[in-house]
Amino acid sequence: MKGIITWALVVSALSLPTLAQAALPAETQVYSAGFIDAAGPVAAAQFEHFQTIISLMLIVVVPIFILVPWVLWRYRRGGRGAYRPDWDFNWGNEAVLWGVPIVLIIILSSALWAHTHKYDPYRPLGNDPLDIEVVSLDWKFLFIYPQQGIATLDYLALEQDRPIRLKLTSGTVMQSFMIPQLAGQIYTMAGMTTQLNLLADQEGEYLGRNTQYNGDGFATQSFRTAVMPKSQFDNWVIHTQKNTQTLDLATYEALLKPSIEHVPRYYGTVDAGLFNRVLARFTAGHAHADSTPAEVSQIREHHHPQNNPKGAEQ
């Protein structure tokens, strides 16, 4: 009886979304996907590392799944195994018990060390990166393209096969920025910058989002990431530049108010240094919102060696 109910539940659960999907409008929707469906080398490498760890861990996990049933069967009450109630130690066992995990952890640690450095989000992925500045707001993301002089809200256009260098901060509470199919996540914090380097080698649309709870609009704080070939990207930039909306301090002030955005916005022009002004609001206090960006980054630039080579040398 229990089994029938279970199956009924599973089957109905499986059929519901299909129905729901059929009811959806034809407009393409981007769904969340993880690093299993990697669309860039970083995410792909992260998933590969994931698989490596699992296969190494099986060395200690599999024996347990074999040993436990075997021991349970052989040494069950009434079983055939010899009963030796005072047997409680053996040096040979001990050596294996401690030795195997130690060796395994050494191997895992060396992999961890290498991969942590290789896939450090701060590590540049090549020359001529596309710079994008990210400001997380409640409950949306602002993307500034300083080289192109444009900005977008909740829409991230990326050039295929070109290294992307994101510089992130927050205009509000701490958030965590992530496009799972392209790279891992990184926190955004007010008055501080973090960095995320990524590369997309597959054209397509991917879902990016905030993963750190920040209030009522958290669940829907996601954005579309469009990866397009160079020509298409350049077209998109030109097209966006024609947009009459400007992102200046006043527009930013308006964006600071918490809101749930359903439609992306595009800004054809951006006030130079807006990102640093956003930073400066928190570093020098509200009274000194216009202190120079250089000072600001000196005070608060997140002390990361690759971010601050001078600091690393000292």
Partner 1 sequence: MNAPQPLHPGVNLDVTDRKSHEKASEVIFGFWIFLMSDLVLFAALFATYAAMSTQGIAQGPTPSEVFDLGSAFIETLLLLLSSFTFGFAILAMKYSTSRLRLLAWLGVTALLGAAFVAFELHDYYVMIVNNDAWPQTSGFLSAYYLLTGTHAVHVSAGILWMIVLAVQVMTLGPNPLVKLRLLRLALFWHMLDIVWVGIFTFVYLFGVAA
Partner 2 sequence: MSWETIFGQLGWDSLVFTGAIKHPSASEFVAFGAGSIVVLGAVAVVVLLTVMRWWGPLWRDWLTSVDHKKIGIMYIVIALVMFLRALIEAGVMRSQQLAAYDSAGYLSADHFGQLFTTHGTIMIFFVAMPFITGLMNYVMPLQIGARDVSFPLLNAISLMLTAAGAGLIMVSLVVGEFSTGGWSGYPPFTGIEFSPGEGVDYWIWSVTLASIGSTLTGLNFAVTLYKKRCPGMDMFRMPLFCWTTLCTSILMIFAMAPLTVATIMLALDRYAGFHFFTNGDGGNMMNFANLFWLFGHPEVYILLLPALGVWSEVVSTFVGKRIYGYTSLVYATMCIAVLSFGVWLHHFFTMGQSANVNAIFGIATMIIGIPTGVKVYDWILTMFRGRIRITTPMLFHINFLLTFVLGGMTGILLANPTVDFQVHNSLFLIAHFHNMIIPGVLFGMFAAVQYWFPKAFGFRLHEGWGKAAFWSLAPGFLLAFFPLYWLGMNGAPRRTVMWADPAFYPWLALAMLGAVLLLVGTVFLLVQIGVSIRQRRQLAVPLGDPWDGRSLEWSIPSPPPAWNFAVVPQVDGRDAFTEAKKNGQAYRSPAAYSDIEMPCNSMVAPLIGIFTFTLSFALVWHIWWLVVVSFIVVWGVVIARSFVAQTNEIIPASRIEAEHEAFLAAARATPGVTRDLEMSPQNRGKAAPDRLGQPGQKRPDDVLESAI
Tell me which residues in 248-287 interact with partner 1 (CB under 8 A): 283-285, 287
Sorted by sequence, the CB contacts under 8 Å of residue 193 that are 6+ apart come out as 167, 168, 169, 279, 297, 300, 301, 302, 307
Sign of CA dihedral 142, 266, 41, 304: negative
Complex with partner 1: residue 194 or 240, whichever CB lies closer = 194
Our CA angle for 209, 213, 215, nearest 5°, is 105
| Residue 124 site contact among partner 1, partner 2, none (CB < 5 to 8 Å, cut-off depends on kind) | none
Distances (CA, A) of 235 to 162, 167, 183, 303: 16, 24, 25, 37
Complex with partner 1: residue 194 or 210, whichever CB lies closer = 194
Closest CA to 188 of 311, 35, 302, 307: 302
Q: Work out whether 277 is an interface residue with partner 2 (CB under 8 A).
A: no
Distances (CA, A) of 296 to 207, 223, 281: 32, 29, 10
Exactly one of 185, 197, 251, 276 binds partner 2 (CB under 8 A); which one? 185
Complex with partner 2: residue 183 or 200, whichever CB lies closer = 183
Complex with partner 2: residue 54 or 250, whichever CB lies closer = 54
Closest CA to 192 of 169, 174, 165, 166: 169
Complex with partner 1: residue 69 or 285, whichever CB lies closer = 285
Q: Work out whether 137 is an interface residue with partner 2 (CB under 8 A).
A: no
Exactly one of 34, 124, 126, 229 binds partner 2 (CB under 8 A); which one? 34
Per CB under 8 A, contacts with partner 2 among 194-223 are 194-195, 207, 209-220
At closest approach, how far in Å is the CB of 305 from partner 2?
Answer: 5
Q: 143 near 134, Cβ under 8 Å?
A: yes
- CA dist 120 and 311 (Å) reads 18
| Residue 287 site contact among partner 1, partner 2, none (CB < 5 to 8 Å, cut-off depends on kind) | partner 1
Site string for partner 2, 248-267 (x = CB under 8 A): --------------------
Q: Work out whether 13 is an interface residue with partner 2 (CB under 8 A).
A: yes
Q: Work out whether 296 is an interface residue with partner 2 (CB under 8 A).
A: no
For residue 183, count other CB atoms closer than 10 A to its CB. Answer: 28
- CA dist 298 and 276 (Å) reads 12
At closest approach, how far in Å is the CB of 170 from partner 1?
Answer: 17
| Residue 186 site contact among partner 1, partner 2, none (CB < 5 to 8 Å, cut-off depends on kind) | partner 2
Q: Work out whether 175 is an interface residue with partner 1 (CB under 8 A).
A: no
* Three-state secondary-structure class, residue 107: helix
If residue 167 lies in a helix (H) or strand (E), which one and from where to where? strand 164-170
Applying CB under 8 A, which part among 125-133, 180-188, 228-236, 244-252 lies near partner 2?
A: 180-188
Per CB under 8 A, contacts with partner 1 among 286-305 are 287-288
| Residues at the contact surface with partner 1, assessed by CB under 8 A | 283-285, 287-288
